[in-house]
Amino acid sequence: MFLECQNINFRYPNGSLDVFHGLSFKMKTPGFHALFGPSGVGKTSLARIIVGDINDYAGVVRSEGMQNLLYSYNLERLPDWSSVGKHLEKITPPSLIDRKNELIASFDMTQTMRNRFSQLSLGQQNRVNLIRYLLQDFHLLIMDESLANVDERTREKIILGIKDMFPDTYFLYISHNVIEVSKFCREILVFRSPQKSPQVVTVQGQDHKLGQTVAKDQLEQTMLEIMHAS
Protein backbone atom coordinates (compact mmCIF):
# COMPACT_ATOMS: atom_id res chain seq x y z
CA MET A 1 0.00 0.00 0.00
CA PHE A 2 1.51 3.33 -1.05
CA LEU A 3 0.57 6.79 -2.23
CA GLU A 4 2.43 8.34 -5.12
CA CYS A 5 2.06 11.50 -7.17
CA GLN A 6 4.14 11.78 -10.34
CA ASN A 7 4.73 14.99 -12.23
CA ILE A 8 1.42 16.67 -11.28
CA ASN A 9 0.64 19.82 -13.22
CA PHE A 10 -2.46 21.75 -12.33
CA ARG A 11 -3.99 25.16 -12.85
CA TYR A 12 -7.55 26.17 -11.89
CA PRO A 13 -9.76 26.74 -14.98
CA ASN A 14 -9.87 30.52 -14.55
CA GLY A 15 -6.50 30.85 -12.86
CA SER A 16 -3.53 32.57 -14.43
CA LEU A 17 -0.84 30.74 -12.44
CA ASP A 18 0.07 27.09 -12.08
CA VAL A 19 -0.79 25.63 -8.69
CA PHE A 20 1.49 22.65 -9.34
CA HIS A 21 4.29 22.32 -11.82
CA GLY A 22 5.88 18.88 -11.91
CA LEU A 23 4.96 17.98 -8.34
CA SER A 24 6.10 14.49 -7.32
CA PHE A 25 6.35 12.53 -4.09
CA LYS A 26 5.85 9.04 -2.75
CA MET A 27 4.66 7.82 0.66
CA LYS A 28 5.51 4.18 1.15
CA THR A 29 4.43 3.52 4.70
CA PRO A 30 1.13 4.07 6.50
CA GLY A 31 1.07 6.49 9.41
CA PHE A 32 0.42 10.06 10.34
CA HIS A 33 1.89 12.28 7.64
CA ALA A 34 1.56 16.00 7.04
CA LEU A 35 1.10 18.54 4.29
CA PHE A 36 2.75 21.72 5.49
CA GLY A 37 3.13 25.14 3.94
CA PRO A 38 1.74 28.66 3.91
CA SER A 39 -1.82 29.39 2.78
CA GLY A 40 -2.40 29.28 -0.95
CA VAL A 41 0.43 26.91 -1.91
CA GLY A 42 -1.97 24.14 -2.90
CA LYS A 43 -2.30 21.81 0.11
CA THR A 44 -6.08 21.57 -0.20
CA SER A 45 -5.87 21.36 -4.00
CA LEU A 46 -3.49 18.41 -3.72
CA ALA A 47 -5.78 16.77 -1.17
CA ARG A 48 -8.71 17.10 -3.56
CA ILE A 49 -6.63 15.73 -6.43
CA ILE A 50 -5.65 12.70 -4.34
CA VAL A 51 -9.25 11.84 -3.40
CA GLY A 52 -10.53 12.48 -6.93
CA ASP A 53 -12.49 15.70 -6.35
CA ILE A 54 -10.31 17.44 -8.93
CA ASN A 55 -9.73 15.55 -12.16
CA ASP A 56 -8.51 18.08 -14.69
CA TYR A 57 -4.83 17.81 -13.83
CA ALA A 58 -1.91 16.33 -15.71
CA GLY A 59 0.27 13.63 -14.17
CA VAL A 60 -0.34 10.43 -12.27
CA VAL A 61 -1.77 9.78 -8.82
CA ARG A 62 -1.37 6.21 -7.64
CA SER A 63 -2.91 4.96 -4.43
CA GLU A 64 -1.86 1.33 -4.60
CA GLY A 65 -3.90 -0.95 -2.35
CA MET A 66 -6.17 1.86 -1.11
CA GLN A 67 -9.86 1.69 -1.88
CA ASN A 68 -11.42 4.36 0.27
CA LEU A 69 -9.79 7.77 0.33
CA LEU A 70 -11.60 10.38 2.37
CA TYR A 71 -11.12 14.11 2.64
CA SER A 72 -12.45 16.01 5.67
CA TYR A 73 -12.14 19.69 6.40
CA ASN A 74 -12.73 21.94 9.36
CA LEU A 75 -15.76 23.88 8.13
CA GLU A 76 -18.04 20.89 7.72
CA ARG A 77 -21.32 20.81 9.60
CA LEU A 78 -23.73 18.16 10.78
CA PRO A 79 -27.44 18.77 10.14
CA ASP A 80 -29.11 20.39 13.11
CA TRP A 81 -32.31 18.36 13.09
CA SER A 82 -31.01 15.93 15.70
CA SER A 83 -28.31 15.68 18.35
CA VAL A 84 -24.72 14.89 17.40
CA GLY A 85 -25.02 11.63 19.36
CA LYS A 86 -27.90 10.52 17.15
CA HIS A 87 -26.02 11.51 14.00
CA LEU A 88 -23.04 9.43 15.09
CA GLU A 89 -25.31 6.48 15.88
CA LYS A 90 -26.75 6.64 12.37
CA ILE A 91 -23.43 6.62 10.54
CA THR A 92 -21.69 4.02 12.71
CA PRO A 93 -21.62 0.45 11.37
CA PRO A 94 -22.70 -2.05 14.09
CA SER A 95 -19.18 -3.52 14.20
CA LEU A 96 -17.71 -0.15 15.18
CA ILE A 97 -19.96 0.80 18.09
CA ASP A 98 -17.20 0.14 20.62
CA ARG A 99 -14.80 2.22 18.59
CA LYS A 100 -17.34 5.03 18.46
CA ASN A 101 -17.59 5.07 22.25
CA GLU A 102 -13.83 4.92 22.56
CA LEU A 103 -13.40 7.86 20.17
CA ILE A 104 -16.07 9.93 21.91
CA ALA A 105 -14.32 9.40 25.24
CA SER A 106 -10.81 10.04 23.97
CA PHE A 107 -11.95 13.18 22.13
CA ASP A 108 -13.53 14.50 25.38
CA MET A 109 -16.94 14.66 23.72
CA THR A 110 -19.08 12.52 26.05
CA GLN A 111 -20.84 15.53 27.58
CA THR A 112 -21.84 16.98 24.23
CA MET A 113 -23.59 14.00 22.64
CA ARG A 114 -27.05 15.27 23.51
CA ASN A 115 -26.38 18.68 22.01
CA ARG A 116 -27.05 19.78 18.50
CA PHE A 117 -24.14 20.68 16.25
CA SER A 118 -24.88 24.42 16.32
CA GLN A 119 -24.76 24.38 20.13
CA LEU A 120 -21.14 23.20 20.17
CA SER A 121 -18.03 25.35 20.22
CA LEU A 122 -15.93 25.46 17.04
CA GLY A 123 -13.39 23.06 18.52
CA GLN A 124 -16.11 20.62 19.55
CA GLN A 125 -17.69 20.86 16.10
CA ASN A 126 -14.39 19.92 14.48
CA ARG A 127 -13.92 17.01 16.87
CA VAL A 128 -17.38 15.58 16.19
CA ASN A 129 -16.80 15.92 12.47
CA LEU A 130 -13.50 14.07 12.74
CA ILE A 131 -15.06 11.30 14.83
CA ARG A 132 -17.63 10.52 12.16
CA TYR A 133 -14.89 10.20 9.52
CA LEU A 134 -12.86 7.91 11.76
CA LEU A 135 -15.91 5.64 11.99
CA GLN A 136 -15.90 5.01 8.25
CA ASP A 137 -14.13 2.34 6.29
CA PHE A 138 -11.04 4.09 4.84
CA HIS A 139 -7.42 3.53 3.94
CA LEU A 140 -6.47 7.19 3.70
CA LEU A 141 -7.99 10.10 5.55
CA ILE A 142 -6.97 13.64 4.75
CA MET A 143 -7.56 15.94 7.70
CA ASP A 144 -7.62 19.51 6.40
CA GLU A 145 -7.13 21.59 9.55
CA SER A 146 -9.54 19.17 11.18
CA LEU A 147 -8.35 20.09 14.66
CA ALA A 148 -8.53 23.86 14.25
CA ASN A 149 -9.89 25.65 17.33
CA VAL A 150 -9.04 22.68 19.54
CA ASP A 151 -6.72 23.45 22.45
CA GLU A 152 -3.16 22.14 22.29
CA ARG A 153 -3.47 19.50 25.01
CA THR A 154 -6.64 17.98 23.59
CA ARG A 155 -5.14 18.08 20.09
CA GLU A 156 -2.12 16.14 21.30
CA LYS A 157 -4.35 13.60 23.03
CA ILE A 158 -6.46 13.18 19.90
CA ILE A 159 -3.54 12.79 17.52
CA LEU A 160 -1.82 10.26 19.78
CA GLY A 161 -5.12 8.41 20.16
CA ILE A 162 -5.66 8.26 16.39
CA LYS A 163 -2.12 7.00 15.82
CA ASP A 164 -2.64 4.32 18.44
CA MET A 165 -6.01 3.19 17.07
CA PHE A 166 -5.11 3.25 13.37
CA PRO A 167 -1.47 2.16 13.06
CA ASP A 168 -1.90 0.73 9.55
CA THR A 169 -3.85 3.57 7.98
CA TYR A 170 -2.63 6.55 6.02
CA PHE A 171 -3.39 10.01 7.38
CA LEU A 172 -2.50 13.26 5.70
CA TYR A 173 -2.74 16.06 8.22
CA ILE A 174 -2.91 19.59 6.82
CA SER A 175 -1.73 22.06 9.42
CA HIS A 176 0.07 25.36 9.77
CA ASN A 177 1.55 24.42 13.13
CA VAL A 178 5.23 23.62 12.62
CA ILE A 179 5.74 22.23 16.13
CA GLU A 180 2.77 19.92 15.83
CA VAL A 181 3.71 18.45 12.46
CA SER A 182 7.35 18.11 13.50
CA LYS A 183 6.41 16.26 16.66
CA PHE A 184 3.65 13.93 15.53
CA CYS A 185 4.09 13.28 11.83
CA ARG A 186 6.19 10.64 10.17
CA GLU A 187 6.73 12.31 6.80
CA ILE A 188 6.13 16.01 6.26
CA LEU A 189 5.55 17.25 2.73
CA VAL A 190 6.74 20.83 2.83
CA PHE A 191 5.16 22.89 0.04
CA ARG A 192 7.14 25.58 -1.71
CA SER A 193 6.07 28.04 -4.38
CA PRO A 194 5.54 26.63 -7.92
CA GLN A 195 8.57 28.60 -9.08
CA LYS A 196 10.85 26.50 -6.86
CA SER A 197 11.95 23.04 -7.84
CA PRO A 198 11.17 20.56 -6.44
CA GLN A 199 7.82 22.00 -5.39
CA VAL A 200 7.56 19.73 -2.35
CA VAL A 201 10.32 18.53 -0.09
CA THR A 202 9.86 15.60 2.26
CA VAL A 203 11.14 16.04 5.79
CA GLN A 204 11.18 13.20 8.31
CA GLY A 205 9.19 14.09 11.43
CA GLN A 206 9.63 12.77 14.97
CA ASP A 207 6.53 10.54 14.68
CA HIS A 208 5.89 10.79 18.41
CA LYS A 209 3.68 8.00 19.74
CA LEU A 210 1.77 7.27 22.93
CA GLY A 211 4.11 6.52 25.84
CA GLN A 212 7.19 7.88 24.08
CA THR A 213 9.14 11.05 24.75
CA VAL A 214 10.53 13.40 22.16
CA ALA A 215 14.07 14.68 22.42
CA LYS A 216 13.98 18.46 22.37
CA ASP A 217 17.05 18.86 20.17
CA GLN A 218 15.73 16.40 17.59
CA LEU A 219 12.39 18.20 17.49
CA GLU A 220 14.17 21.51 16.98
CA GLN A 221 16.26 19.94 14.25
CA THR A 222 13.10 18.81 12.41
CA MET A 223 11.55 22.24 12.80
CA LEU A 224 14.68 23.85 11.37
CA GLU A 225 14.64 21.45 8.44
CA ILE A 226 11.05 22.36 7.71
CA MET A 227 11.71 26.09 7.90
CA HIS A 228 14.80 25.67 5.73
CA ALA A 229 12.89 23.60 3.17
CA SER A 230 10.08 26.09 2.86
Among 44, 45, 63, 72, binds another protein (CB under 8 A): 72
Neighbours of 216 (CB within 10 A): 8
Among 54, 61, 66, 91, binds another protein (CB under 8 A): 91
Which residues on neighbouring strands pair with residue 187, listed in sequence order?
204
Shortest separation between residue 67's beta carbon and another protein, angstroms: 12
For residues 167 to 206, the per-residue mask of contacts with another protein, x marking binding by CB under 8 A and - elsewhere, is ----------------------------------------
CA separation, residue 168 to residues 29, 66, 141, 171 (Å)? 8, 12, 12, 10
Residue 126 binds to another protein (criterion: CB under 8 A): no
**Neighbour-count burial of 187, counting CB atoms closer than 10 A to its CB (0-12 exposed, 13-18 middle, 19+ buried):** buried
The residue among 160, 162, 159, 108 whose CA lies nearest residue 134 is: 162
Cis before 167? omega within 30: no
For residues 32 to 61, the per-residue mask of contacts with another protein, x marking binding by CB under 8 A and - elsewhere, is -------------------x----------
Shortest separation between residue 71's beta carbon and another protein, angstroms: 7
> Which positions lie near another protein, rule CB under 8 A?
51, 70-73, 75-82, 91, 116, 129, 132-133, 136
